[in-house]
Structure 1
Amino acid sequence: MKQQSVLRLCAMTLVLTGTAQLALAMPEGLPSVQHSGSISYLSGGVGSDESTAIKSEMGNYPLVLEFAGKTNTGNDYLADIPVQISNAHGTVVLDTSTRGPFMLISLPNGRYTVTATYNGNEVRRVVSVAAGAHARELFIWPM
C-alpha cells in the first residue's frame, strides 16, 4: 500500500514536471498547436501579444500563411478564413479555418496547393516545402 502511494507520488511529480517544462517552452500568448492527422499547425494573431508570439515562432514552421484585406488606408488583418491544403496528388491534407491572420504549418517536404477563401473569392497558391527552407504566402483580398 505504501509502495503504491510512493509510485503515485512519483508519477504525479513526473507529470507536473513535464507540464511545467512544456509551459516554459511555449512563448506567452501563443495559441495552442492544433493537429489534423500528421499535420500540426497553429493559427491566430489577434491582439498584439498573440501576434508577437506567433511572429517569434514563424522560423520554426516550414510554411507560414498570412491573410489580409486591402482597404483605401492599407491592409486589415483577417480571421476565420477557410483554408484547404492539398498535396501533389490532390489529396486534402488540411481543411480548417484560421483563428487569426496568421497560420503556421508543419508539413512534410513536397509541393502543395493552398486554397483560401474570403467573401466568396477563392485564391490558390502552389507552395513548395523543403527541409531547411521556409515558405511564406500572403493572401490579400479587396474589401
Structure 2
Amino acid sequence: MRIVDRPILRTSLGIALLFGAHTALSQPLPEPVSRDGMLFVTGGVGIDEAKAFQAAAPRYSLRLTFATPSGSYLSDVDVTVATDAGRPMLHARTDGPFLFIMLPAGRYRIVVNRGGADVNRLVTVPPRGGVQLNVLMPDTPVSTAARRCPRCSASAEP
C-alpha cells in the first residue's frame, strides 16, 4: 500500500475546501428566459449576482448595462430590441442593471425607457463574440402619469 505524501494531501484538501466554499458562497445566475424566440437573462442585484453575470457574459452576444450619469445602477427598465428594419424581436423589463441576450449576428435597434423619454441605440452584434452596451438613463424617471395629466401640470404652475 502506498502512502500519499502529507504536504501534497494537505494542499489538495485545502484547494478542494477552498473551491467548495467559493462555490457554495457564489450566487448563481438567474434562470434564462425564452420569450419572443430570444433567450435572455436579467438581474445583477448585489455583488455576488453581479459577479455571476460577469462570469456568464461571454455566453451572450448582446450585454446591456443600465445606469445613471451619477453611477447608480438601474432596474425596472423597459427594453425593446428590434431589427434594423424595425421588426420587434424582444420586449422585456429588467430585474436588475444587466440584460444579457443571445441574438444572431446583425444590426439591431435598442429602445430603452424608464418612465421618461426613450433612449435609442443602434448596435451591431458580430458573428463571433459579443458586444457590451452601457445605457445611461436620467437619474429620476419622469412619471408617465405626470406627463399626461393636465390637472397635475396645472397644479404645478403658480
Give the TM-score, by structure 2 length. Answer: 0.68
Which residue number corresponds to residue 57 of structure 2? Answer: 58
Runs (4+) of structure 1 exceeding 6 A deviation are: none
What is the CA–CA distance in structure 2 between the aligned matches of 1:102 and 1:52, rounded to whole Å?
11
Which structure 2 residues correspond to residues 71-110 of structure 1 after superposition, within 5 A? 71=70, 75-110=71-106
Kindly indicate whether structure 1 or structure 2 has the higher relative contact order, using CA contacts under 8 Å at least 6 residues apart: 1
What is the CA–CA distance in structure 2 between the aligned matches of 1:49 and 1:60, rounded to whole Å?
18
1:28, CA displacement in angstroms? 4.0
What is the CA–CA distance in structure 1 between the aligned matches of 2:58 and 2:103, rounded to whole Å?
14
Which residue number corresponds to residue 140 of structure 1? Answer: 136
- Over aligned residue pairs, what C-alpha RMSD do you find? 1.6
Which residue number corresponds to residue 15 of structure 2? Answer: none
Please identify, of 124-133 and 96-105, the stretch whose mean Cα deviation from structure 2 is larger: 124-133
Query: CA offsets, 1:80-107, max 9 Å, x none?
Result: 0000000122110000101100011001
Q: Which amino acid aligns with 2:55?
A: S
What is the CA–CA distance in structure 1 between the aligned matches of 2:133 and 2:127, rounded to whole Å?
17
How many equivalent pairs are there? 115
1:138, CA displacement in angstroms? 0.6
SS at match of 2:104: coil
1:69, CA displacement in angstroms? 1.2
- Identity rate, percent: 31
- 5+ unaligned residues in a row in structure 2: which ranges? 1-22, 140-158
Give the TM-score, by structure 1 length. Answer: 0.75
Task: Determine which structure has the larger strand proportion and give its number.
Answer: 1
Please identify, of 105-114 and 125-134, the stretch whose mean Cα deviation from structure 2 is larger: 125-134
SS at match of 1:65: strand
What is the CA–CA distance in structure 2 between the aligned matches of 1:87 and 1:111, rounded to whole Å?
6
Please identify, of 75-84 and 34-43, the stretch whose mean Cα deviation from structure 2 is larger: 34-43
